[in-house]
Structure 1
């Protein structure tokens, strides 16, 4: 009735969304039919460049997707239907798990995933744990899409690891996904899982895909560094359980920090204990001259104050006079009694050490 009275069919709201956009969300086929009968523009775009086809695909209205695709072919057959972020209706159907919509879109343009945003529909499917649409895409596109890369060099395996999507990881493994593919920052799917505390994904990547624990990113961080840096205790312990190489346990990043420095700073007591048990070096210093013990300080100034106080402490009593807890604490802080080091031994701190406090004379009779 409104259309017959002269209502503007393609009038948009302040976000550029027309009546056809709204009908696409509600799935009202009669409304859509009436609008198209009055020449509504099927490829009209809102303020983000999204067409009614995007909305119908996102909401799972397969009948409307079919109607729109037919109308689009007669309106502008060369329009790629890509929004201003580079996403196609196929991205949205894959992300939301609408298999029937995705199949229609694939029939219409089987290589639409090559257009627009390189974060492909397969990335979208696995990051939202939509394994059905992921499988459809792989069957339609073949192996090429499995190891496709987005603008930051991340593969669908990175996306599945980020989402802790084990089923997606299994699917990608069956189709020869590259376990150790590194993105532009040098991070593999295992490192993505470690940094985000995705323990299930990390476990699958380690045990089923034989992911490489020794890979370092552009800042020389290993997966263990990254897990510790974000306080992901379970993930760090899982990685440690598969780490036998002392060199990897004591690996330093570009700031000369070992995993022990980072775990100590983040208060990961169980990880610190496990690292010490595995032989982590307690006297190693980072670029600020801090041992793992001093790294526990909330900031550099406090760490330097702590080092200064420790350097002026009175001589320690004999080893057998120190309570076991106190001695262990001092030893873990990198300070032990004279009797705890060989004759002629010297403190690892020197006046030449950058940003550290000289502690010569700390050990006296």
Structure 2
């Protein structure tokens, strides 16, 4: 450490004129208990000196108690990375005194960020400190962080040429890459202070100026993202290609809303924006409408980019633009675009804004003439967003028009609650109840209850069942064709809802024309549902149907041999089929003995023909 540095350090931490409080001095010289006593007596842990030195800076100088004191006050909200007027953090102070182990422990107190002490000072561009840390622990030099970055990657991103040269002299490979194939050049182009000198340096070491990351970005992409145009010019001079990557580099600039970079690229290749059309026929202006601001969009219009595609206009994209959509909407409307034009799927721009939860844009569109009374696929907008389970959009629309939610869908006669039972969650159902809906309402056409509809709800149905039953819905209510919700759940193979129905009191012995649940499943050829029923109610295997036949008889006639074998096997295992072979023989349709032996019993494996003839 130079003499001037030592004098400055002493001035900040030891002199009477430094402005240190008693609490700071206790943090430097005493223990945590002493500090806490001073805090109890009014000491201000957040105070700083004339030099911006904090309590944590002083604690870092405590050879015995630095970690204990620092850990406590970091837990109280003090910032371990806060720097003094010279840009030095508490960790820097610890290293100045040679307290390397304490500095490492202090660095580890941070929940995020760099954990390697050498990497930390490389990123701080403190070469002399880096050399001291390296002398103390050379193992830190070769280490990489969880993303695969080594010290040279941090230097390329944050430090100067001298730091990079020293690291390479000590053995780090300039061609090394991190986990996502990010090279030192990808980092250097983001270095606003030193990137211009680092880029040609690394290029001279044969680092590929057109090297692509896993996602396809080259160093030029990074320079343009940072709007580091001097570095971009340097890269082009060194051989970087505007069209090297599979990703259109000008569209990359548009998506990042980097106008200066987009103009920079356009001046060098105007075909990249004018000729861009994606698989849906959308232009660069569609991309900008969803991501960029008015300045970017106005520039694209000036250079001749179109606002329409075969599937949509740019207004259909504005709703997805959280930051700039409200200003872009009138901009595009003033260009003559129709706010009520439908895209290929029948949706207008306001539908997309509501879908994205962008109520600010929706409100702007409404003020400019957007129509909320439209229907999409036969549904009004409230019903449409009930189906999407988009509570934010539904509540917004309900504030604008309280009649839409009351509309009955024909010809089924379903209402909003039935839609939510099919597609929504518990919160949406609760909200409908609060605004006056009765969960006991029946859909008029097939007389289905909300529980019938809930069997179609794969994501939330099992949570809705107990809610609806608690609200008074009959768990065994039959519809127009005598099916209960449990029948529906088995027919849809929604076993989570079936479980919920049974736990809520559904009758497992329910029958349709004397057919039990198992026979119902067999007749519908629902193998998985039959297995569900047998697992819980094996006795149904031998119960008689309307025709006086058991599930085995029905399966022998309607199901395949493997299904029949399953019933025989499970029946025997659960003790409801005492003589499997006799049961099988009695249940088979009339046929020749030879056909029975060849086509059926051979499929029964160990319960086959030998079992039939055994004593």
C-alpha RMSD of matched pairs (Å): 4.7
Aligned pairs for 1:116-265 within 5 A: 116=409, 120-128=415-423, 130-143=425-438, 146-149=440-443, 154-164=448-458, 165-183=461-479, 186-211=482-507, 213-216=509-512, 222-228=516-522, 229-232=525-528, 233-238=530-535, 240=537, 246-247=543-544, 258=554, 265=561
What's the counterpart of residue 63 of structure 1? 360
CA 1:133–1:256: 2 relative to 1, 3 Å: same
Q: 1:45 aligns with which of 326, 342, 347?
A: 342
Q: In structure 2, how many angstroms separate the alpha carbons of the residues matched to 1:190 and 1:110? A: 34
Q: In structure 2, how many angstroms separate the alpha carbons of the residues matched to 1:222 and 1:13? A: 56
Q: In structure 2, how many angstroms separate the alpha carbons of the residues matched to 1:307 and 1:209? A: 46
Q: In structure 2, how many angstroms separate the alpha carbons of the residues matched to 1:98 and 1:265? A: 47
Q: In structure 2, how many angstroms separate the alpha carbons of the residues matched to 1:61 and 1:148? A: 34
Q: In structure 2, how many angstroms separate the alpha carbons of the residues matched to 1:222 and 1:80? A: 47
Give the conservation status (yes or no) of the 8 Å contact 1:194–1:226: no
When normalised by structure 2's length, the TM-score is: 0.40
Give the conservation status (yes or no) of the 8 Å contact 1:160–1:168: yes
| Higher gyration radius (CA) | 2
Bigger RCO of structures 1 and 2 (CA < 8 A, at least 6 apart): 1
Residue 196 of structure 1, CA deviation: 2.8
**Which is richer in helix?**
2
Gaps of 5+ in 1: 295-302, 313-323, 331-335, 341-365
Gaps of 5+ in 2: 1-297, 599-605
Q: 1:29 aligns with which of 320, 326, 336?
A: 326
CA 1:222–1:19: 2 relative to 1, 3 Å: farther
CA 1:279–1:4: 2 relative to 1, 3 Å: closer
What's the counterpart of residue 87 of structure 1? 379
> 1:44-73, CA deviations, whole angstroms, 9 ceiling, x for partnerless residues?
32344322233233333233344444555x
Q: In structure 2, how many angstroms separate the alpha carbons of the residues matched to 1:69 and 1:251? A: 65
Q: In structure 1, how many angstroms separate the alpha carbons of the residues matched to 2:395 and 2:472? A: 23
Q: In structure 2, how many angstroms separate the alpha carbons of the residues matched to 1:68 and 1:244? A: 62
Q: In structure 2, how many angstroms separate the alpha carbons of the residues matched to 1:66 and 1:166? A: 36
When normalised by structure 1's length, the TM-score is: 0.62
Query: Which stretch of the first structure deviates more once superposed, 201-210 or 242-251?
Result: 242-251
For these two proteins, the number of residue pairs brought into alignment is 298
Give the conservation status (yes or no) of the 8 Å contact 1:125–1:134: yes
Aligned pairs for 1:199-348 within 5 A: 199-211=495-507, 213-216=509-512, 222-228=516-522, 229-232=525-528, 233-238=530-535, 240=537, 246-247=543-544, 258=554, 265-267=561-563, 269-275=565-571, 277-278=575-576, 292-293=587-588, 307-310=593-596, 329-330=611-612
> Secondary structure, in 3 states, of the residue corresponding to 2:318?
helix
Residue 274 of structure 1, CA deviation: 4.3
Residue 91 of structure 1, CA deviation: 3.0
Q: In structure 1, how many angstroms separate the alpha carbons of the residues matched to 2:568 and 2:594? A: 24
